Amino acid sequence: MSAAGPLTAHRPERVAVVIPAKNEAERIETTIASARGIPGVDLVVVVDDGSSDATSAVAMGADALVVRHKTNRGKAAAMATGAQMVAIQEGAERADGGEGFSEELHAEPRSPGHTGPLPVIDDRAAVPRALLFLDADMGGSAAAAQPLVEAVLGEGVDMAIALLPPQSGAGGMGVVVRTARRGILRATGWEATQPLSGTRCITRETWDACQPLAPGWGVETSLTIDALTAGFWVKEIPADLHHRATGNNLRGRLHRAAQLRDVLRALARTRHLSPELEEDAAAETPEALPATASESQDAAAPETPSAVIPETAPTTGTGPGTEADAAAEPQPERPAAPSAGVPAPLPVGGADHDEAKVWAGLADLDEPDAELAEQRRLTLADLPVDGEFSDDETRALGDVDPAELDALLRALKVEGDFAPDDVVYLAGTDLEQLAERLDAAPVEGRFEPAHAVIIASHLQVGEPEIPASLTAPLTPEEYTSLVVHAAVDAENS
């Protein structure tokens, strides 16, 4: 037994690094060299996932074990290929007998028909290497993954997930992260800080228990859920790792659209893990998800409803009484836009005005701007927002007419409030066009705020084609997924 305790008995003693890579010829060599410096690492496998540059050649020159996909098969497939190559390499090592093997000392007696002794290789005591998955663009920072290795080899952690510091140039809207976090919480009761972190060290036993993997970018979400539900110890560990962040341009949005699509698919595989939702199907709604520790505190703002595929049928589904219920449900009218040249009046604010939101805006200003700033805080607090605007977000809305923005947001076919960063994003989009798109969508029920943000980011994409396997009306999740597919297909065409 290890001196560290019973959890570290019969643990892996070595680590194999697996690096999925596509078109990373500029950074892969530095990443490999940095990964080799991690204590315990004695094997580096690079999976070239259909690169069009010299990624494979550079990786082989850096003395990595390289395998190449002829076409791009996605991150999950690259990870699986890397793990298979590690297993093959270990099998070859066992066939060689390992260091110190001698046929004279490890052999059966001669058998009739054979010219010499038969080597006997006993691998019963062999413990497979742990797998450390790294991004190919981490460069010299890859060595900072050492705390993950130490947690798995020395502390008994089964899956160590890297908590990365803020990344330079990151421009995501947070929708995908919130969706994955909410889905993991619903399925397991564990709240991940960075649910999409792909830098992980995992034991082979845990890896095998998580098969088959969810496809594409949903692999991290499925790994976390499958490991937790199988009883393994999953732990997030800070690591000073840095990689190329996804920006907020069109390419970045399409990347996040593909991520969201795959995360939704991964979460759809775990519906059976929430039996309490099925038991209370008649009353369950997305708003009734388990509260997190932060949500239970008065000072903390609740999470934005996510785009997780619901595990129950929509409340506006077909059946006795459905049409009557739908008719009885009040439908808000779309407020008329302010007349041209006439400034819209500032909203007064309701009786339930949230003072906590009011004072979370800009820092105190000197007179005469203080009165205007206070009025600004009041009007922004009355927007349909779930949470507090940061100083930067408040300044970003400085040129926006709060009354007009409030009217346009409330006119959307959406149930629930928006996250503050989503309000900032939507303020820069064509909300009237978004409203028309949501109203015309063949959808039963109202969209969640996260759905509206995703669709707003792809307004330039035409109406998605409904496959023959789906029958209208669709659920909001189905329609949003089709929009994502259409955007990704448009990028790839």
Q: What is the pLDDT of residue 327?
A: 36
Note the pTM of the prediction, 2 decimals.
0.59
pLDDT tens digit sequence for 296-349: 333 333 343 333 333 333 333 333 343 333 333 444 444 444 444 444 443 443
pLDDT tens digit sequence for 96-107: 665 655 555 555
Q: What is the pLDDT of residue 463?
A: 87
Q: What is the pLDDT of residue 377?
A: 66
350 pLDDT higher than 70: no
pLDDT tens digit sequence for 219-254: 999 999 999 999 999 999 999 998 776 555 555 666
Point out the least confidently predicted range of 212-221, 350-359, 390-399.
Answer: 350-359
pLDDT class of 24 with cuts at 50, 70, 90: very high
Point out the least confidently predicted range of 65-74, 148-157, 347-356.
Answer: 347-356
Over range 29-39, report the average pLDDT.
96
Q: What is the pLDDT of residue 251?
A: 58
Q: What is the pLDDT of residue 93?
A: 81
Q: What is the pLDDT of residue 397?
A: 84
Quick one: CA dihedral 66, 70, 75, 76, positive or negative? negative
Over range 192-215, report the average pLDDT.
93
pLDDT class of 77 with cuts at 50, 70, 90: very high
Q: What is the pLDDT of residue 259?
A: 77
Q: What is the pLDDT of residue 359?
A: 35
Angle subtended at Cα 217 by Cα 228 and Cα 491, rounded to the nearest 5 degrees: 165
**Residue 47 bridge partners (DSSP):** 20, 67
User: To the nearest whole percent, how much of the chain has pLDDT over 70?
Assistant: 65
pLDDT class of 464 with cuts at 50, 70, 90: confident
Q: What is the pLDDT of residue 224?
A: 96
Over range 128-136, report the average pLDDT.
96
Q: What is the pLDDT of residue 294?
A: 36
161 pLDDT higher than 60: yes
Q: How far apart are CA 278 and CA 160, in angstroms?
A: 31
Pick from 259, 276, 189: nearest CA to 221: 259
Q: What is the pLDDT of residue 442?
A: 93
Q: How far apart are CA 473 and CA 317, in angstroms?
A: 9
Q: What is the pLDDT of residue 223?
A: 95
Q: What is the pLDDT of residue 333?
A: 46
Over range 459-485, report the average pLDDT.
84
pLDDT class of 178 with cuts at 50, 70, 90: confident
Q: How far apart are CA 117 and CA 343, in angstroms?
A: 96
Give me the phi and psi of 21, to 5 degrees please: -145, 140
DSSP 49-114: ES-SSSHHHHHHHTT-EEEEESS---HHHHHHHHHHHHHHHHHHHHHHT-TT--TTTSEEPP-TT-
Q: What is the pLDDT of residue 369?
A: 57
